[in-house]
Amino acid sequence: MGSPSTPGRLTVISGPSGVGKGTLVDALLQRHPSLWLSVSATTRTPRPGEIDGVTYRFLDRERFETQVQAGGFLEWAKFAGNLYGTPRGPVEEHLAQGHPVLLEIELEGARQVRRSFPAGFQVFIKPPSFEELERRIRGRGTELEEAIQRRLARAHQELEAETEFDAVLVNGDLEQAISSLEALLNLG
């Protein structure tokens, strides 16, 4: 389990759906190939272009729950009607090898990781405004109205939790946000 003596560094990137966490993390990985991003498991249906094992490991609910029972997740949470979890093994292996590890997860998961990895670093990404967040979620065009409403309701709750995090970053201008994240994570 994680402890302050864990050789690698564990960084959690969290923030509401639609805030652009994925885009930020992708840019960071491109620029800093030594970073390793955990591939989460989810019961959500793949969006067009998403590849099993790359974007997510897509599992049916039964297989996801079997993994939960087996203690296979470092953290897991229900989000907008689906289950999401971080497979434990690969994260522990990368940390043991001294690699910096990134998790891109929602609030409940971030809270669980905070308990198991108190030495980890947690960054909260927030939008310039709630209206902008709604525009981004709708602009993605991948969710039905009901799912959009669930994500917006959840976003309100998540935005209230920013003070729990080690650092807060506004994702307005992407380039600026990438530079700020690099500075926060001490990436040259």
Site residues (vs ligand 5GP, CB under 6 A): 17, 21, 40, 44, 75, 77, 79, 84-86, 104-106, 108-109
Q: Are 60 and 43 in contact (CB under 8 A)?
A: yes
What is the pairing mode between strands 82-87 and 41-42?
antiparallel
Q: CB-wise, 9 or 104, nearer to ligand 5GP?
A: 104
Longest C-alpha distance within the chain, in Å? 46
Q: CB-wise, 2 or 104, nearer to ligand 5GP?
A: 104
Q: CB-wise, 79 or 117, nearer to ligand 5GP?
A: 79
Which residue is associated with the tokens 């003596």?
Answer: 5
Q: CB-wise, 115 or 188, nearer to ligand 5GP?
A: 115
Encoded amino acid at 42, one letter: T
- Closest contact distance (angstroms) between CB of 116 and ligand 5GP is 13
Which residue number places its CB atom closest to ligand 5GP? 109
Q: Are 119 and 4 in contact (CB under 8 A)?
A: yes
- Closest contact distance (angstroms) between CB of 29 and ligand 5GP is 15
| CA–CA distance, 35 with 33 (Å, rounded to integer) | 5
